């Protein structure tokens, strides 16, 4: 095989790899958009972090096993809230769900964002009512 043929073959393989990568990116983006739409409705239905933590087991497998729970969280109990949030965040973190199907990965990523926003909002509210609660 001469040099020109090898170069042509390499260019062809690079083009195919680029097309496959673009298709994968398009599928990933579509799944993220679907997950975002689903998660926004879910977050609207479960407005507070407490409701969201209680509703997470309903998401079900493959993200959450049947018997999984974030634990009991009483409103205003910062220690229990922090523990439950971190327990859920570990399950939803993008690095932890890479082995799941693409749709589950996208859903977990969106839930992770929504849960983080609700947690931050609740921490700000608790800090405002108790005069500077530390979340450490």
- DSSP states along 83-98: HHHHHHHHHH-TTTST
- pTM of the predicted protein model: 0.77
Whether the predicted pLDDT of 111 surpasses 80: yes
pLDDT on residue 104: 92
pLDDT averaged over every residue in the chain: 89
pLDDT at 1 over 80: no
Q: Is 10 left (phi over 0), alpha (psi -120 to 50) or beta?
A: alpha
Domain ranges in the chain? 3-131
Confidence (pLDDT) at 3? 83
Of 17, 19, 27, 22, which Cα lies nearest the Cα of 102?
A: 27
Under DSSP, the state recorded for 57 is: G
Q: Please give the C-alpha separations between residue 54 and each of 28, 46, 80, in angstroms, as whole numbers.
A: 28, 9, 13
Q: What is the mean pLDDT of residues 17-35?
A: 93
CA gap 24, 29 in Å, rounded: 9
CA–CA distance from 57 to each of 62, 69, 70, 135 (Å)? 11, 6, 8, 25
Model confidence band, residue 127 (pLDDT cutoffs 50, 70, 90): confident
């Amino acid at each position: 095989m001469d040099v020109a043929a090898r170069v042509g073959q390499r260019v062809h393989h690079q083009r195919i790899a680029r097309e496959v990568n673009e298709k994968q990116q398009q599928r990933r983006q579509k799944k993220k958009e679907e997950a975002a739409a689903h998660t926004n409705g879910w977050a609207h239905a479960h407005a507070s972090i407490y409701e969201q933590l209680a509703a997470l087991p309903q998401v079900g497998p493959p993200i959450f096993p049947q018997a999984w729970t974030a634990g009991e969280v009483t409103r205003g109990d910062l220690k229990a809230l922090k523990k439950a949030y971190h327990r859920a965040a570990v399950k939803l973190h993008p690095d932890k769900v890479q082995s799941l199907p693409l749709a589950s990965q996208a859903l977990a990523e969106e839930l992770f964002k929504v849960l983080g926003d609700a947690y931050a909002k609740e921490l700000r509210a608790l800090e405002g009512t108790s005069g500077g609660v530390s979340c450490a």
